[in-house]
Amino acid sequence: MTQHVEVGGLRIGYERAGTGPAVLLAHGFVGDARSTWGRQIEALSDEFTVVAWDAPGMGGSSDPPEDFGMDAYADCLAAFLRALQIGRAHLVGLSFGAALALATFHRHRGLASSLTLVSGYAGWLGSLGRDEADVRLARSLEASQLTPDEFVAAMAPSMFSPSAAGENLAPFLDSVRAFHPSGFRAMARASYPDQRHVLREIDVPMLLLYADHDLRAPVSIGEAIHGAVRGSELVVLTGAGHASTVEAPDDVTRELRRFL
């Protein structure tokens, strides 16, 4: 069941289950906590306190200003964890959530017990290059003007592999359809800046989990981050696309449990 807490004037929705070491699950550019991480919340709560938040501008959370920026998202996440009386957590992020995990590690040293980037970027600019990052930002801002059904049609093809089972994707696609246009624009702008400078600072265990059918964050991005972070571990899932937590939940859960 979704709970809420006030953080810095924003109403933040979240899911919480289990007891034990804290694990923070951060969803991606579309979707929300439950639709992205539902299977992992249920599976990992036997060993961990699992918290999955709806980022400002998504799901059950209120919209931030459109110029919120990644630093503000990171500060909000840190304040959110403090509000839940969590002083240290394993940070696990999908896509945008992975970039958020990097920013949070950078700005709030000592908060992260470990980092797991699932199909993540060191910022669009850092991982895609300027030309592709510019195109992705422009297309995202344009997509924010679409109707809900048009938005799903625009986003869904790049989220999954061609063999993804439609019935398993329905709850996630429903959450995509319920996107917040203003919040989506804020997240798009926050996704842009280069975060490669953070990689050389990382001194906690790091898992990089990528998928071989990912059109949005190909394995080459994970390989580049792996090469930049000494001691990091790179795992490539076979047969899954970008939203692997939804398409291949058992594989993702298995790797998270092993790593954590």
Residue-range domains of the chain with CATH:
3-259 (3.40.50.1820)
Nearest to 7 by CA among 55, 44, 46, 59: 55
Residue 85's Cα: distance from chain center in Å? 22
Phi, psi at 7, each rounded to 5°: -135, 110
Distance of CA 142 to CAs 46, 125, 151, 202, Å?
Answer: 42, 19, 10, 35
Model confidence at 23, pLDDT cuts 50, 70, 90, reads very high
Give the per-residue pLDDT at 165. 76
Indicate if the pLDDT at residue 168 is higher than 80: no
pTM above 0.95, yes or no: yes
pLDDT at 105: 99
Residue 76 backbone class (left: φ over 0; alpha: ψ -120 to 50; beta: rest): alpha
Amino acid making up residue 157: P
- Residue 1 confidence (pLDDT) above 90: no
User: Which percentage of the chain shows pLDDT scores above 70?
Assistant: 100
Asked whether the predicted pLDDT for residue 64 surpasses 80, the reply is yes
Residue 238 has pLDDT above 80, yes or no: yes
The span from the CA of 172 to the CA of 20, in Å, is 28
Average pLDDT over residues 11-35: 98
Over the stretch 122-154, which tens digit does the pLDDT of each residue have?
A: 999 999 999 999 999 999 999 999 999 999 999
Over residues 78-126, the pLDDT tens digits come to 999 999 999 999 999 999 999 999 999 999 999 999 999 999 999 999 9
Q: Is the pLDDT of residue 239 over 80?
A: yes
pLDDT score recorded for residue 133: 99
Nearest to 61 by CA among 71, 53, 72: 53
Across the range 220-247, mean pLDDT stands at: 98
- Number of neighbouring beta carbons within 10 Å of residue 131: 8
Rounded average pLDDT over 14-41: 98
Selected residue with higher pLDDT from 222 and 165: 222
Specify the DSSP class assigned to residue 50. E
Q: What is the pLDDT of residue 166?
A: 72
Per-residue pLDDT at 191 exceeds 90: yes
